[in-house]
Amino acid sequence: MKKVKVITICLLCQVAVFAQWNTERILTIGQNALYFEDYVLSIQYFNQVIKIKPYLAEPYLNRAIAKIQLGDYQGADQDCSEAIKINPFLPQAYYARGFARKKMNFFTEATADFTKALEFSPNSLYLLMNRMDARDRNKDYTGALSDLDTYLKLSPKTYSLYYEKGRIQLELKDTLAAEKTFNQFIQKDSINFLGWSARAILRMEKNDKDGALKDYTEAIKRNTTYEGDYINRGILNVEKKNYNQALSDYNNAIKIDKNNALAYYNRGLLRANLGDNNNALTDLTTVLKLDSSNNEALLRKAMLESTIGDFRNSIKDYKAIIGKFHYFIPAYVGIAEAEESLGNKKVSFQYRQLAYNIEKNKDYINRKNKETIQATNKTAKNVQQSTTGRKTDLFNRFAAQDIENTETESKYSEETRGAVQDKYTDVINERNFVLTYYAKADEIRRTNIYYPALDEYNKEKKLSSVLKITNNELSLTAELVNGHFEAINNISNQLAKDNNDPDIYFNRSLEFAMVQDFNSAIEDLNKAILLRPNFMLAYFCRANIRFKLLDYIKNTADQTNKGVVESTKEKNKKISVEKQSMFDVEMMMRDYDKVNALNPDFSFAYFNKANVLCTQKDFSTAISNYTKSIEIDPEFAEAYFNRGLTYLFVGEDAKGLADLSKAGELGIYKSYNLIQRFKK
């Protein structure tokens, strides 16, 4: 609470110093911070607007969005309720509250909120998708199907929803309707593995094993990402005595999910049946590490240990089974045989006698307990989990993170250990390099981030802190936010005394950029450049900030009506935004060109320029600029990575894979995952 108070006081000081900082501008800057994932900072801006104008609904709504991103769903619910109280005709507030309530498993209330929002925006695909998901989770399958049918009428080419429809029909036990839906899915989108995968499960349930095998093969040909397709095809191949193919299937399932106990279990059984006992034992041990309750694996492990002569561990495992199943005869017999092999005939006899007594009284025991363990192949019975969660973006760009399923990032230990090529990565360019005070350290990559001109400028100590080059910026903590606002105040006092010093304007522009006030930052950079026309660092910063501002404006415009059937007015607005963005891109390119005219060896300007060119789909010129940055720094890992992706995009696979290989060698280990995927 103390941190929040300090920042609030500082913001109040800012408003006092800068009269032009009206609530509308503070709100806009807060939205900038929200877009660039500075959630803590954005909340402070929205707090300030609420303090000044508590009767506005928008800051409550925006603060709710930030809280959703931070996992504070209850706080988001309260803020949305306040926004609705102020303005009950704000569909986004119902949407956000519904989203928060859905995350808290209040599905009935979430459905009501999405329904209310749909009254204002009946053609919103986002709202329909979210309500369908809420109804599905609430087991209101009939309502969910109704929403799906409406969605398909509005967007008939969203073929993946046929998968969702079939999955829900299976929940209703309507297998005939589900099969018909999956057939439709395959007819409309035969290149998508989901339809083949889903229909294969149905065919297995109908005992149409040949049909299921064909469907699984088709799903796998289409690069399925569902390990269950490989597991189930492996089982079918075992039944057909195609053991090598089955083993390959289980291996591939494990490549997709190294923690899939079912894949290890089935592979262990197959290896045991083929006489590969030691590897089978390794697999079953892995199963028990992943799932200690797997009694079938424990039984099979005990039997294998006895087979290879590891009688003591076999006895230990059999006793563990007896601890769970007191009347399980095979465990007593197994211990008796193991003890006999160890020469303990008396103990062996005792266990055989126990087994005999259980068998003799089995009718009485069976009335009280039914204990059976069967070590047989297990099928991945369910179709894949719903893909709906990936489609439920919160309005605009702000998709709520699935906190409970998100692993904490580790820069050193786990991320770069093991088979890094199996760690899934998105196909997306490395980000622009910027000048900032804060950067996440990455000791693995070999890109040279030292630049003499920047080092000389830092030595002059004209800035608030040491300036660094990075493409891995840090979000600000509450303490840092406070410090930057204080710095803006102090620098503004300096400018009141001396407004002809370009370094002071440059310093304040960096501070404005830190708190996401991009317009103020650009104004200060304009003044710095006017006073010093050869100020290379200022040109570079201005281009980068323009890129961020353009990214925010363009994506906000794109996402505001995403998921809604466009009207003529919305199309015209989109055209207007596109024209403005073309002008902004031209201004950016001029700044980067000026940087390289002043400092031809500054590789990061060529890299950033190439990234901008990629957004404009000018891939040939982008490749030339990436190449130029590599010529300056032959170990520019990010340039190899981005050029590799660009080569792959234009169909020059050999060059692309070579670049990704080089990027991996230089420390961008996610390259290896992409290499594996593109080679398939």
Per-residue pLDDT tens for 232-246? Answer: 999 999 999 999 999
**pLDDT for 17:** 38
pTM: 0.66
Asked whether 508 and 528 are in contact (CB, 8 A), the reply is: no
680/675 Cα distance (integer angstroms) = 9
pLDDT at 621: 95
Closest CA to 680 of 258, 236, 193: 193
Residue 412 has pLDDT above 80, yes or no: no
Q: What angle do CA 541, 546, 551 make, to 5 degrees?
A: 130
Please report, to the nearest 10 degrees, the dihedral formed by the alpha carbons of residues 115, 121, 122, 128 taken in order: -60
Q: What is the DSSP letter of 444?
A: S
**pLDDT at position 141:** 95
CATH number of 227-383: 1.25.40.10
> Per DSSP, what are the bridge partners of residue 469?
435
How far apart (Å, rounded) are the C-alpha atoms in residues 111 and 135?
7
Q: What is the pLDDT of residue 450?
A: 87
> How far, in Å, CA of 564 to CA of 91, rounded?
13
Give the pLDDT confidence score for residue 477 in this predicted structure.
Answer: 76
pLDDT at 8 over 50: no
With a cut of 60, say whether residue 642 has pLDDT above it.
Answer: yes
- Give residue limits of the domains in the chain: 227-383
Which of 5-14, 121-130, 132-141 shows the highest mean pLDDT?
A: 132-141
CB atoms within 10 A of CB 366: 11
Kind plus residue range of the DSSP H or E element containing 435: strand 434-436
Helices (H), 342-477: 345-360, 362-368, 388-391, 452-459
Residue with the bigger pLDDT between 452 and 10: it is: 452
pLDDT above 60 (res 302): yes
Query: Which tokens hold the place of 153?
Result: 């009428």
Contacts for 353 with CB less than 8 Å, ≥ 6 apart? none
**Confidence class for position 439, pLDDT limits 50, 70, 90:** confident
221: left (phi over 0), alpha (psi -120 to 50) or beta: alpha
Distance between CA 577 and CA 561 in Å, rounded?
Answer: 13
**Residue 295 contacts residue 373 (beta carbons within 8 Å):** yes
In this prediction, residues 638-661 reach a mean pLDDT of 92
CA distance 569 to 409: 43
Q: Which of 293, 256, 251, 291 is nearest to 268 (CA)?
A: 251
Whole-Å CA distances, 128 to 134, 137, 272, 370: 10, 14, 50, 47
Sign of torsion, CA 21 26 28 32? positive
Residue 653 region by backbone torsions, left for phi larger than 0, else alpha for psi between -120 and 50, else beta: alpha
Residue 11 buriedness (CB in 10 A; 0-12 / 13-18 / 19+):
buried
Residue 395 gets which letter from DSSP? S
Would you call 404 exposed, middle or buried from its count of C-beta atoms within 10 A (0-12, 13-18, 19+)? Answer: exposed
Rounded to the nearest angstrom, the gap between the alpha carbon of residue 156 and the centroid of all alpha carbons in its chain is 27
Residue 244 structure tokens: 């090598």
* 114/127 Cα distance (integer angstroms): 6
- 494-536: per-residue pLDDT in tens? 998 888 999 999 999 999 999 889 999 999 999 999 999 999 9
Tokens describing residue 2: 């103390």
- What is d(CA 414, CA 17) in angstroms, rounded to the nearest whole number? 48
Do residues 253 and 234 make contact, with C-beta atoms less than 8 angstroms apart?
Answer: yes
Q: Which of 33-42, 315-324, 564-573, 607-616 has the lowest mean pLDDT?
A: 564-573
- E-only strand ranges, 461-566: 468-470
pLDDT at 5: 42
Query: For tokens 């569909």, what's the residue?
Result: 91
Local structure of 448: helix, strand or coil? coil
Q: Which one is predicted more confidently, 667 or 609? A: 609
Sequence letter at residue 402? D
**Those residues with Cβ within 8 angstroms of residue 334's Cβ, 6 or more apart along the chain or in another chain:** 302, 303, 306, 314, 318
Rg (CA), the chain: 31
Percent of the chain with pLDDT over 90: 60
CA distances from 84 to 56, 89, 106 (A): 10, 7, 18
Query: Which of 268, 333, 273, 271 is closest to 306 using CA atoms?
Result: 333
Q: How far apart are the first and last CA of the chain?
A: 53
- Tokens 């200690």, located at residue: 292
pLDDT at position 584 is 83
Query: What is the spatial distance between Cα 271 and Cα 407, in angstroms, rounded to a whole number?
Result: 33
